Structure 1
Amino acid sequence: MGAAGSSALGRLGLPASRLPAQPRPGWLAVTALGLAAVALGTVAWRRARSRRRRRLQQVGTVAQLWIYPVKSCKGVAVSAAECTALGLRCGHLRDRFWLVIKEDGHMVTARQEPRLVLVSITYEGDRLILRAPGMDQLVLPGKLPSSNKLHDCRLFGMDIKGRDCGDQAAKWFTSFLKTEAFRLVQFEDHMKGRSSKKIFSTLVPNYQVAYPDCSPIMLLSEASLVDLNTRLEKKLKMDQFRPSIVVTGCDAFEEVSTSRRL
């Protein structure tokens, strides 16, 4: 405090020694420490990000993408697709979102009706067009009216819903398969999927699946197929396994360990 200030306080009868001392500029030290912490944090983050970048390693190349709209029917090759929790999607085209059922709701696949593999599918706009030998084409909308009936379906002993695709689709599959009456149903996003853990509890993580056997996406490498065929007299083709994603540039069966890390 200056001399003038001390003199004024003296005239008021207040001793200068009782006044509080001037605070030290501690905020400067706090600010300096804060800036240092921010700087160190930035350096550490950049180094960690750099290490993460260096750890990235190409494990293969996606060679083909396939969507199989109707279970057991032929697939549709696509150039790009979105990986969703329920499988690949390209516009309204979804993987195994359509299913042929008996009138009591039980699934029908190529295991029971092998002629299903002869049904080919194209995708135009928001419509699915189905073709089969000796049949006129069947046109299906990508989205069904909500007024269509809901069926209680049965897949591998598990219950799941499906919306009826209409009488025209039912007559088409019934006429083509020529064994009994069938109907076609479609899965919708708001419906509850099946738990893959309840199908193969020791083999796969717990996924929610629509009408696939046990998982939303199947990854298969060309090297694995080549390796397998060296052990077989009758060679197999890739489409017999119906993979969603076909990979090249990796060793045989390497996709098994890679998919576990994803």
Structure 2
Amino acid sequence: MGSAGSSPLVRLGLPAQPRPGWLGVAALGLAVGALGAVAWRRGWPRRRRRLQQVGTVAQLWIYPVKSCKGVPVSTAECTAMGLRSGHLRDRFWLVIKEDGHMVTARQEPRLVLVSITYENNHLMLRAPGVDQLVLPSKLPSSNPLHDCRVFGLDIKGRDCGDEAAQWFTNFLKTEAFRLVQFEMSMKGRTSRKLIPTAVQNYQVAYPDYSPILILSEASLADLNTRMEKKVKMEYFRPNIVVTGCDAFEEVPTSRRH
């Protein structure tokens, strides 16, 4: 590239023109100046962002089965699809009808009576009037897949087996039900298909809308000043309960009324 034989003028049969000496000096000066600027910027101390405490995490909750009771955890990882503690994921299990439509406490209020504990990678489900149900957190790949319908959107779910299906059917006593589990290889629902004006286009498994729900104790206290009958924190099923902040600080400014 730098030889005279490769010059475009030579290839055209014209004599190559020597570069003026000042051009090389100027190029060298620019290179030295650029390196000096980089060195100066690297040597300049970076301005650190000052972190400001806006609250304290008081509680962490994971709700494995949609509409059933939550599991308190001491630590959790915030993932793009919700809280995770080991193999325990938030709202990755769902009760469905035989046609695949979701079943929540809106249709079957008794689901809120199902309590869950988690030990040795197994979920233990308990409910009044039925024996304990033990479920592995990871299902065999041979279990069939179901086409499910959650708030009008299609999503897959792997069947948790006949024992789990019969357990929920016996407990709810209204019709036949099945239990399915979401897997990370499946495609989640996107929040903008539910709410087109959503700022963030979250991908979720079986939650209503967003992967994580935050609620502050101050917001609940403020709400209860307006209620004839006080409500409890668990009514809202938050994943993260925050203390030490003002009421509704967890709500984006654009959504406050």
State whether residues 106 and 154 of structure 1, in contact with CA within 8 Å, keep that contact through their aligned partners in structure 2. Answer: yes
Over the matched positions of the two proteins, sequence identity in percent amounts to 77
2:157 maps to what in 1? Answer: 162
Q: How does 1:1-262 map to 2 (within 5 A)?
A: 33=33, 36-44=36-44, 46-47=45-46, 49-50=47-48, 53-54=49-50, 56-257=51-252
Mean CA deviation greater in 191-200 or 167-176: 191-200
State whether residues 72 and 117 of structure 1, in contact with CA within 8 Å, keep that contact through their aligned partners in structure 2. Answer: yes
- CA, structure 1 residues 159+28, in 2 after alignment: closer, same or farther (shift >3 Å)? closer
1:12 maps to what in 2? Answer: none
- CA, structure 1 residues 28+191, in 2 after alignment: closer, same or farther (shift >3 Å)? closer
* Deviation of the 1:198 alpha carbon: 1.3
State whether residues 82 and 88 of structure 1, in contact with CA within 8 Å, keep that contact through their aligned partners in structure 2. Answer: yes
For residues 258 and 247 of structure 1, the distance between their equivalents in structure 2, rounded to whole angstroms, comes to 17
**Matched AA of 2:161:** G
State whether residues 69 and 112 of structure 2, in contact with CA within 8 Å, keep that contact through their aligned partners in structure 1. Answer: yes
Considering fraction of residues, name the structure with more helix. Answer: 1
For residues 193 and 259 of structure 1, the distance between their equivalents in structure 2, rounded to whole angstroms, comes to 27
* Deviation of the 1:68 alpha carbon: 0.1
State whether residues 218 and 245 of structure 1, in contact with CA within 8 Å, keep that contact through their aligned partners in structure 2. Answer: yes
For residues 152 and 28 of structure 1, the distance between their equivalents in structure 2, rounded to whole angstroms, comes to 66
- SS of the aligned residue for 1:137 comes to strand
**Matched AA of 1:39:** A
**Matched AA of 2:41:** G
State whether residues 60 and 74 of structure 2, in contact with CA within 8 Å, keep that contact through their aligned partners in structure 1. Answer: yes
Task: Structure 2: state its 5+ residue gaps.
Answer: 1-24
State whether residues 63 and 90 of structure 2, in contact with CA within 8 Å, keep that contact through their aligned partners in structure 1. Answer: yes
State whether residues 191 and 198 of structure 2, in contact with CA within 8 Å, keep that contact through their aligned partners in structure 1. Answer: no
**Matched AA of 2:225:** T
**Matched AA of 1:240:** Y
For residues 66 and 164 of structure 2, the distance between their equivalents in structure 1, rounded to whole angstroms, comes to 15
Q: Report the TM-score when normalising by structure 2.
A: 0.84
Bigger Rg, which one: 1
For residues 34 and 162 of structure 1, the distance between their equivalents in structure 2, rounded to whole angstroms, comes to 57
* Deviation of the 1:148 alpha carbon: 0.3
State whether residues 72 and 109 of structure 1, in contact with CA within 8 Å, keep that contact through their aligned partners in structure 2. Answer: yes
- CA, structure 1 residues 112+61, in 2 after alignment: closer, same or farther (shift >3 Å)? same
1:129-161 C-alpha deviation (Å, 9 max, x unpaired): 101112111000010001101000011111110
For residues 125 and 204 of structure 2, the distance between their equivalents in structure 1, rounded to whole angstroms, comes to 23
**Matched AA of 2:72:** A
- CA, structure 1 residues 219+204, in 2 after alignment: closer, same or farther (shift >3 Å)? farther
For residues 26 and 101 of structure 1, the distance between their equivalents in structure 2, rounded to whole angstroms, comes to 74
- SS of the aligned residue for 1:189 comes to coil
**Matched AA of 1:36:** G
1:197-221 C-alpha deviation (Å, 9 max, x unpaired): 1112224521111000011100111
Task: Structure 1: state its 5+ residue gaps.
Answer: 1-24
- CA, structure 1 residues 151+27, in 2 after alignment: closer, same or farther (shift >3 Å)? closer
State whether residues 196 and 204 of structure 1, in contact with CA within 8 Å, keep that contact through their aligned partners in structure 2. Answer: no
For residues 176 and 183 of structure 1, the distance between their equivalents in structure 2, rounded to whole angstroms, comes to 12
* Deviation of the 1:125 alpha carbon: 1.2
